[in-house]
Structure 1
């Protein structure tokens, strides 16, 4: 196996030569074999072990095993203990997802702080087959069936061409020792049920199951590459990019064959799972929206608008002194000798009509103002409708207030009550330079 492994490195991962490598080492069979193979090829390596505190003394034993292994191989070792269940509870995610987030965030810190070039993990061909069936059972597109990538930025998986049987034979032939994870024998998770019950029976159907699976993966990857090239052409036809959004032209998309499939490929990767709801947006009323954990897709007239969900608290208010403010937007206030032409990013107001400090906040339901040049008040919701602003555009609007009165809907309209007149004693020029 060592000769085949070296050949694989030379053919597919030659960029690793001469680099500092960090190996994710659990102490199990796969990561121990990967560590020995890489060490045999004289790479500069270090081991990184995560103790997730999920199996009591067994977890601590795994940690001590990896530390001892590093000593025997005379390589550096990093070990970290995590309160995984607490992290999962605080972030309202599964224990499995918590462990994944914790370890990869920690690995990234080590790579950055200690100048390691790549992280190596011990995923192998059987893991790839398990992932294929997991994705298949949950419903997926072609991307979910192409398997575990051999490279993902700084994460490298050089054992994906080798089966669990290959790895076990190498370990026994070289008298290697490793730790057995008792949780792998419990059918609590889908992956374990596949590993323990389903896939052993599936492999019995043919002696070349894994070999044929690899061929299928190559065919799927080629098809996926073809789809990606086509989607790149479609993207240029139907998608326009804004400062903080992507807009999909619905009519242009509908003119193309298989518009639902194209929409899936355009939005795949943004975390959406309810694809029927996404597809229904094509014919929905303006204002309908679908959410993923990270993004929002909004139907706005003849477009679908994709934006990232912001964590900012829109109820927060910022005080504005006579010197202006830079938080959350750069707002300048200065005395002017006379009024000039009012523009999108500047207004002139009567200083004596203002009560400092002013306030800066997002608009709220029920807000109203007296539009410049008009008598009587108008609700902002009605004003925004008249201006034909989308929901996303409305959410970006900031208000400048004096007390509870709106002075300026920044970038759109000032309030008539604060205009400069012949009786004005001091004129203030208020500007947002980068608007």
Structure 2
């Protein structure tokens, strides 16, 4: 391929995917020392001479290959100096996790984001090619990825990474360099890495025996999947707004089984994946079987259930599903504290505040019996009472009942999910319950038409997006 044709193709990619904002001034170039990244640097060096961009070379040394890695860093620094471009080198050794390649990518990406903020970089360019795209699509397909996984390498990411060479093959990129212009990474020949076996064995076999244009076919698959995902992103966002919500005071996501089961299967699967991503931040190691187990849990006609998948604990109670981090729900959490009457107290492990305040009684002619039952009789309360979590065996006589009822029975009748019961607040005097969330005042303490000192008990939730407001009486 002629250099001018190559330049035109890369420029077309920059324009097509709007990789560089019109007001951009500084671009970071990730340079490993390999052919693709060196060609990327030389391309942008020529572009900067025409446009006035400021460039910064970014190199990460993971120290995986000892002296060879150090030599790569020196090579990149010298190249940047030759081109009169500032260079930053970071030494980021790996912890040795099971997936070294993924760990290295995560470290590099975090450092690139850091440099973008510190150096006011508008974008960071990476040297991924159509060949890398093909290898990634095939690798993910072999692991059973869905459409989102087959989207593979995106030309532009939300955090400002761009891949200008994504429409050019590795061979086309290397045609732009003279032999010896780059350094070879010996780890790229190590068959211990899955991606190397795909590059050296599987793709050549498919090219020779099935499709001479296999790289193009796989890259097209990625582009097709990316457009599908872009369409679904809006749909899933709207579904999440409608069907997913965090319980007040918790980092979790809940939805009704009825809503999930009513969705088309494709939409339900995507909503489940979205909920998982909200909890753990990504979808790595989340497989088709995990999503199907969650759908099966939601499809059960009734009852409770629980399952765990990597990084997420899913619990069903009545008609609700709750997605949370592992161990977020670990049984009852007991607390007990004294509350001054009137007064207020923050509920432990919650963003809610319980407020007991005196209210003005209405004139007898305006008293409404049913309304007054929403309050407690202040004359029957001491100067302080106990706030605690409910205990198994707790019971009280709600207004309108002739005898005491166990709270557990009321929970079942009201279909209160198991996770909400965990820190369910109760106000008590000794063994006598005065008030509890949702079910109101006990009959022995409820205000009546003749109450001279009624008190309201309200629970207010306070979060970052909402002003405090009454939740339950």
TM-score, length of structure 1 as denominator length: 0.76
**How do residues 310-325 of structure 1 correspond to structure 2 at under 5 angstroms?**
315=333, 317=335, 322=340, 324-325=344-345
Name the stretch that deviates more: 47-56 or 406-415: 406-415
2: CA distance, partners of 1:331 / 1:392: 19
Aligned pairs, number: 416
CA–CA distance in 2 between the matches of 1:114 and 1:403? 63
1:100-151 residue CA offsets vs partner (Å, 9 max, x unmatched): 3333233323323433222322221111111111211111223322332212
Specify which of 269, 274, 279 is matched with residue 295 of structure 2. Answer: 279
1:17-416 equivalent positions in 2, closer than 5 A: 17-19=22-24, 20-42=26-48, 43-85=53-95, 88=97, 94-153=99-158, 154-172=160-178, 176-178=181-183, 180-205=184-209, 206-221=211-226, 228=232, 232=235, 240-244=243-247, 245=253, 247=255, 250=258, 253=261, 259-269=264-274, 270=276, 271=283, 272-273=286-287, 274-284=290-300, 285-293=302-310, 295=312, 297-299=314-316, 301=318, 303=319, 305=321, 307-309=323-325, 315=333, 317=335, 322=340, 324-326=344-346, 328-334=351-357, 350-352=380-382, 354=384, 366=392, 368-373=394-399, 379-395=406-422, 397-399=424-426, 408-414=435-441
Q: In 2 relative to 1, CA 195–410 (structure 1 residues): closer, same or farther, beyond 3 Å? A: same
Structure 1 residues 283 and 27, CA, compared in 2 at 3 Å: closer, same or farther?
same
Q: C-alpha displacement at 1:237, in angstroms? A: 12
For residues 27 and 324 of structure 1, the distance between their equivalents in structure 2, rounded to whole angstroms, comes to 63
Q: Deviations over 1:195-225 (max 9, x none)?
A: 2321222222344332333444445555666
Question: Structure 2: how far apart are the matches of 1:14 and 1:82?
Answer: 27
Alpha carbons of structure 1 residues 74 and 404: separation in structure 2 relative to 1, 3 Å = farther
Mapped partners of 1:316, 1:60: distance in 2: 56
Structure 2 alignment gaps of length 5 or more: 1-5, 248-252, 277-282, 461-468
Contact 1:296 1:309 in 2 (8 A): yes
Distance in 1 (CA, whole Å) between partners of 2:108 and 2:142 is 26
- Separation in 2, partners of 1:34, 1:71: 16
Instruction: Give SS of 2:243's match.
Output: strand
The structural deviation recorded for 1:299 is 4.6
Which stretch of the first structure deviates more once superposed, 232-241 or 146-155? 232-241
Tell me, in whole angstroms, the C-alpha distance in 1 between the residues paired with 2:77 and 2:444.
Answer: 73
SS of the equivalent of 1:110 reads helix
Q: CA deviation at 1:316?
A: 7.4
Gaps of 5+ in 1: none
Partner of 2:280: none
SS state at 1:268 partner = helix
CA distance in 2, matches of 1:240, 1:10: 37
Instruction: Say if 1:22 and 1:120, in contact at 8 Å, map to a contact too.
Output: yes
SS of match in other structure, 1:16: coil
1:83 and 1:376 map into 2 onto residues whose CA distance is 68
The 8 Å contact of residues 316 and 322 in structure 2, kept in 1 or not, is answered as no
Asked whether the 8 Å contact 1:351–1:427 carries over to 2, the reply is: no
Farther-moved stretch of structure 1 (10-19 vs 114-123): 10-19
Describe the shift of the 1:210–1:289 C-alpha distance in structure 2 as closer, same or farther (beyond 3 A).
same
Q: Do the aligned partners of residues 400 and 65 (structure 1) sit closer, same or farther apart at CA in structure 2, a change above 3 Å counting?
A: farther
CA drift of 1:233 comes to 9.5
RMSD across aligned C-alpha pairs, in angstroms? 4.3
User: How far off is 1:265 after superposition?
Assistant: 3.3
Write the distance in 1 (CA, Å) between the matches of 2:182 and 2:128: 19
Matched residue, 2:279: none
